[in-house]
Amino acid sequence: MAAVFFFAAYGSLLFEGNRVAGNSATYGGGIYTPGYSNARIINSIVTDNEATTAGGGVYGSSYSSARVVNSTLSGNASPVGAAIGVSSYCGVVIANTIMWGNTGQTINRPRYGAASVIYSIAQNGYPGMGNLDVDPDFNNPIAGNYGLQSGSPAIDTGVDPQTIVAVNIDVVDDFLDNMRSQDGDGLGAGSTGDGSDYDIGAIEVVAN
């Protein structure tokens, strides 16, 4: 099965609350954004996709831009950018996103430019404010359940994406239509992350 292919020169894509799984392509096994496009990928789960060249989950071509916010990328595979592949001169901003359990380099670093990653979980690490390199403790990824277990390091450790100039997206609910944000760890606002109680990943833990 081919990837979700978005092509509209100088056009925009809003990809919100979707699951992309089990696809394959040369570039962008899950989602491919071509040059001069602008994509917003929000509250989405991108899993078990494969790209033979680059971008197992998502691939951003040269002169494209993408904002990946409160999403989960797991089980994807590619030799370059198993979770997210970035071409030179591609502007990618990633926030509140889990990139864990992918096969290959999580995010590649092109010769010219790089992804900007904040308040995210990236396996093997990636520089940026609030980033973590720790197992997010999914509920049952083998069964496709990418919710968070109690005590997950992704709970309440994110950022309000609307407050970040490079993101500027108001995310008011999650993949399951649960309200964001919630005090999932029970510690009150301001204890972790930027203090907004946003979770990292596509699924917010509902407060008791």
Could you report the per-residue pLDDT of 54-105, keeping only the tens digit for each? 999 999 999 999 999 999 999 999 999 999 999 999 999 999 999 999 999 9
The pLDDT assigned to 13 comes to 85
In sequence order, what E strands does 70-120 have?
72-74, 84-86, 91-95, 98-99, 116-118
Establish if 132 belongs to a structural domain: yes
Domain span at 70: 4-163
- Is residue 138 scored above 70 in pLDDT? yes
User: How many helices, marked H, and strands, marked E, lie in the chain?
Assistant: 0, 18
User: What's the chain's average pLDDT?
Assistant: 92
193 located within any domain: no
The number of domains in the chain is 1
Closest by alpha carbon to 32, among 53, 63, 12, 61?
A: 61
Indicate whether 92 belongs to any domain: yes
CA distance 61 to 12: 14
- 154 versus 14: the higher-pLDDT residue is 154
pLDDT bracket for residue 1 (50, 70, 90): low
